[in-house]
Amino acid sequence: MLDTATLFYTSAAAIFVMALLNLITWRANRNFVGIGLYVWYPVCLLVGIIISAIEAPQQHDNLVTLANFFFICGSVIHVLAINRFLNYNGLLTYFFIFVSAGLFFSFTYFMFITVDISAQVLLIDLHRFVEAACLFYIISRYGRSKYPSASLVYLIALSMSLLVFAARSLIMTHSDHSAQFENDWFSAALLVKGVLAPMLFAAGVALFCNERRELNLNQLTAKTQKDLEIRGMFLSTISHEIRTPLNGILGSAQLIMNQASTPKHKPYCEAIINSAESLTLLIDKVLEYASLEQSDEALYEEDVELHTWLNNLCLLLSPLAEQKGVKFELNYNLAKQACYYCDHQKLRQILINLVGNAIKFTDQGQVTLQVDLLHGGQEEHTLGFSVIDSGPGIEEDEIQYLTEPYVQSSAGKLKGGSGLGLAITSRLLAHLGSKLHITSRLGEGSTFSFAVKLTVGELSLVEKRPKSDNYRTGLDVLLVEDLELNQKIAIEFMAEDEHKVKLATDGSSAIELLKKHHFDVVLLDMNLPDFNGQEVIRKLKSMDHRNHRTPILAFTASLSPDEVKEYLALGIKDIVGKPIKQEKLRQALSDSQSNQTPNISVALKDVLYDETAAELMANTFAEQELSSIYNEFVLSARNKLLRCQQLVSNDKEQCIKLLHRQASTALQLGFNRYGMALKKIERRLLDGKPIDEGLAEGLELWQQSLEQYLKFMRSQTLR
């Protein structure tokens, strides 16, 4: 065993190093309770060691008492510091302080009054043992679960102290003062207490602080995530609550505008309607941005034939450009057969946002979507996507802020909007590992571009694409539909078969388009804002236009036997029923170009809620967008039906229009019985028949449908 002098010097050096390490730990973690107090623990031990080293050769009783006083003070500080760090305030702490005071006074008694070396050694060992036992219990009980690594280091050091002091107290029961310093167990105790334990304690307290920081970081992360979820729930809830009065404002303003007796009231009503619609758009964008902020989902990559996919996307956006008189084209500079693995839903939303913005801000000229190969490897290509417009341009000092939420350029403030479109696009690009670049010149236009790395797909998959042997593709179609939901679904379905679609939202614009352009087929809604589909057909028969031989398909949910006979008598080729089914639409468009006998039957489940409706729409709408459509309908359905009850006696025409829109949307969303009930009420009003308690029954049926829908949603949530 090492000699006592060497151990004293080694202990002093080890405890000095411990003091420095504790000081450094405290400087980095001074906000943690107990760490500041812990710094004084090695200081007390160091003073006690130095006094013991001075006392050993001189054998001064006063110095021995003073050294042990500092050792006991250090032990009390040690226990108090650990207790405060672990937030322990139990009786054990007070018990230890009381025992320490009692043992010190007992030690003084056996030092000065009744001199007994064995009793002194026993009291010192007993104090060390009690200190180690108390800390062992407290750390095992209150520290091990939160701080496993630090607790392990500390418990090893405490176990060594318990073992060595228990053994020494049993073995060194009879020794004189000189023999005490020569005993191997005295040296072992000094080695453990003065060298090994301080090093382990210094490492342990540093680990305690590290694990506390990690724990705080995890708690902060969890809190941040919870705050994001709460904010998302708040935004979702408050936006849904806002939508209900907004629908009331919109309906009331439209009612006032329709009933206004003087023209001067009309501009005010239009201002109210435009403001309410702008607020609705803002709510949708805020919800979308909030969902992206919370989302951390992995990319869902599929193999896509890029040229065909982009063509279909452009067919979807073309009607918007044509309505503004803006030329829109795709400049594709890759191999037409190229396939890539990509998250096409996110890429689709990015391009729709960018192209939609470009068309919105371009009043004349053209918008171009350009795709280039920037870098080609064997397994991975870097593709560049650019949206180039001839709009008004953007101020140079505004460009850097455009991807921030709620920030708009000068042109954006004139055109209106939420200021979230580019922020959403930027976040989606971040998910794809890319970044949006904007260049612009005032009066010449802007370019929005990004580069994305895509893995090369399997070219063999191109051969597995559905063939078009059984249906026609690439037709020029005029879609006449006033309901935005049906517009989007129909255009999306037809874009998949590469049909070129022009859109009209009422009978007058449909007639104008039929005069100017030739179409292969017309898809005509039979109930339009200005006049119905039958009137459109009769007007066309009495005027000159370019589509006398063009087949017309009725696009309607009104399919009673009398209505079907009326449609066929007018020369309608076929009927595409609502809700829209892709296969029926595809077959009807194909049959319109031949002498095929039409299939008028429309299969509609007699259920309160058709669960397959949302599945069919999932390919057309993003999840958040589809959820928004359902939420808006569910929250406003009852109020709109109540409004119909008010309108039925005052403004029957407006009531019919509202019923028609509600019925079409209900059927498309899967509320089959409710939608058909509204269609029957609409039909009776058109025929001039009384509806009796039809609207009241409709309210009751809606309540049943809503309960079935909510039951289905709860079952989906629990999966």
pLDDT digits (tens, 9 = 90+) for 66-83: 878 888 898 899 899 999
338, 455 in Cβ contact below 8 A? Answer: no
Residue with tokens 């979230």: 420
Maximum average pLDDT range among 183-197, 320-334, 403-417, 449-463 = 320-334
What is the reported pLDDT for 367?
93
Neighbour count for residue 706 (Cβ, 10 Å): 17
CA distance 376 to 381: 5
Tokens of 405: 């939420």
Out of 217-221, 528-532, 534-538, 602-606, pick the least confident. Answer: 602-606
Out of 73-77, 388-392, 628-632, pick the least confident. Answer: 628-632
The answer on pLDDT for 416 being more than 70 is no
Maximum average pLDDT range among 174-178, 253-257, 291-295, 436-440 = 436-440
What is the reported pLDDT for 31?
86
What is the reported pLDDT for 565?
78
CA distance 253 to 273: 6
pLDDT digits (tens, 9 = 90+) for 432-443: 889 999 999 888
User: What dihedral angle (degrees, nearest 10) is formed by the CA atoms of 528, 530, 534, 538?
Assistant: -150
What is the reported pLDDT for 412?
58
pLDDT band at 313 (very low <50, low <70, confident <90, very high): confident
The answer on pLDDT for 625 being more than 50 is yes
The answer on pLDDT for 246 being more than 90 is no
pLDDT band at 463 (very low <50, low <70, confident <90, very high): very low
What is the reported pLDDT for 642?
85
Q: Once rounded to an integer, what is the mean pLDDT over residues 623-652?
A: 80
What is the reported pLDDT for 457?
77
The answer on pLDDT for 386 being more than 90 is yes
Q: Are strands 366-376 and 380-389 parallel, antiparallel or unpaired?
A: antiparallel
Pick 324 or 601 by higher pLDDT. Answer: 324
307, 336 in Cβ contact below 8 A? Answer: yes
DSSP of 421-455, one letter per residue?
Answer: HHHHHHHHHHHTT---EEEEETTTEEEEEEEEEEE
CA distance 671 to 496: 26
User: What dihedral angle (degrees, nearest 10) is formed by the CA atoms of 111, 114, 117, 119?
Assistant: -100
The answer on pLDDT for 465 being more than 80 is no
CA distance 424 to 410: 19
CA distance 629 to 390: 33
DSSP of 515-566, one letter per residue?
Answer: HH---SEEEEESS-SSS-HHHHHHHHHTS--S-TT--EEEEES---HHHHHH
Pick 174 or 268 by higher pLDDT. Answer: 268
User: What dihedral angle (degrees, nearest 10) is formed by the CA atoms of 661, 667, 670, 673?
Assistant: 110
Q: Which DSSP state fits 532?
A: -
What is the reported pLDDT for 466?
47
Q: Which H or E run includes 103?
A: helix 91-108
The answer on pLDDT for 180 being more than 60 is no
pLDDT digits (tens, 9 = 90+) for 80-107: 999 999 988 888 888 888 888 888 888 8
Neighbour count for residue 299 (Cβ, 10 Å): 12
CA distance 45 to 562: 103
The answer on pLDDT for 1 being more than 90 is no
pLDDT digits (tens, 9 = 90+) for 657-712: 888 888 888 888 889 889 888 888 888 888 788 887 788 888 889 888 888 888 88
Q: Are strands 521-525 and 552-556 parallel, antiparallel or unpaired?
A: parallel
Quote the distance between the C-alpha of residue 246 and its chain's center.
Answer: 26
Out of 159-168, 171-180, 231-240, 291-300, pick the least confident. Answer: 171-180
pLDDT digits (tens, 9 = 90+) for 545-581: 888 889 999 888 766 666 777 888 888 888 887 778 8
Establish whether the linkage from the previous residue to 57 is cis, with ω within 30° of 0. no
Relative orientation angle of helices 197-259 and 148-171, to the nearest 10 degrees: 150
CA distance 310 to 125: 83
What is the reported pLDDT for 460?
35
Pick 651 or 408 by higher pLDDT. Answer: 651
For the chain, percent of residues with pLDDT exceeding 90:
10
Q: Are strands 476-480 and 500-504 parallel, antiparallel or unpaired?
A: parallel
CA distance 251 to 29: 61
What is the reported pLDDT for 372?
92
Pick 170 or 391 by higher pLDDT. Answer: 391
CA distance 316 to 444: 26
Q: Are strands 500-504 and 521-525 parallel, antiparallel or unpaired?
A: unpaired
Quote the distance between the C-alpha of residue 44 and its chain's center.
Answer: 54
Tokens of 465: 């694409």
Relative orientation angle of helices 265-294 and 197-259, to the nearest 10 degrees: 160
Q: Are strands 339-342 and 445-456 parallel, antiparallel or unpaired?
A: antiparallel
Q: pTM of this prediction?
A: 0.48
Cβ neighbors of 662 (< 8 A, separation 6 or more) are 637, 640, 641, 644, 675, 678
Half-sphere exposure of 676 (CA within 13 A, CB side): 16
Relative orientation angle of helices 197-259 and 40-58, to the nearest 10 degrees: 170
The answer on pLDDT for 418 being more than 60 is no
Residue 456: which region, alpha, beta or left (left: phi > 0; alpha: psi -120 to 50)?
beta
pLDDT band at 136 (very low <50, low <70, confident <90, very high): very high
Tokens of 577: 């029923």
Half-sphere exposure of 628 (CA within 13 A, CB side): 22
Backbone angles phi, psi at 703, to 5 degrees: -60, -40
What is the reported pLDDT for 384?
94
The answer on pLDDT for 428 being more than 70 is yes
pLDDT band at 260 (very low <50, low <70, confident <90, very high): low
Q: Once rounded to an integer, what is the mean pLDDT over residues 218-245?
A: 70
What is the reported pLDDT for 382?
92
Cβ neighbors of 469 (< 8 A, separation 6 or more) are none
Q: Once rounded to an integer, what is the mean pLDDT over residues 244-264?
A: 65
Alpha helix ranges (H) inside 497-560: 507-516, 533-541
Closest-CA residue to 368 (of 380, 379, 359, 378): 359
Q: Once rounded to an integer, what is the mean pLDDT over residues 392-414?
A: 74
What is the reported pLDDT for 387?
94
* Averaged confidence pLDDT in the chain: 80
What is the reported pLDDT for 650?
82
Q: How far apart are the first and last CA of the chain?
A: 68
- Using DSSP's 3-state secondary structure scheme, residue 576 falls into strand
684, 584 in Cβ contact below 8 A? Answer: no
Q: What is the radius of gyration, based on Cα positions, of the chain?
A: 41
What is the reported pLDDT for 467?
47
pLDDT digits (tens, 9 = 90+) for 12-68: 888 888 889 888 988 888 888 888 889 998 888 888 877 776 765 555 667 777 878
Sign of the CA dihedral running 280, 285, 290, 295: positive
**Degrees (nearest 5) of the Cα angle 637, 643, 649?**
140
Q: Once rounded to an integer, what is the mean pLDDT over residues 338-357?
A: 86
Out of 311-320, 393-402, 413-422, pick the least confident. Answer: 413-422
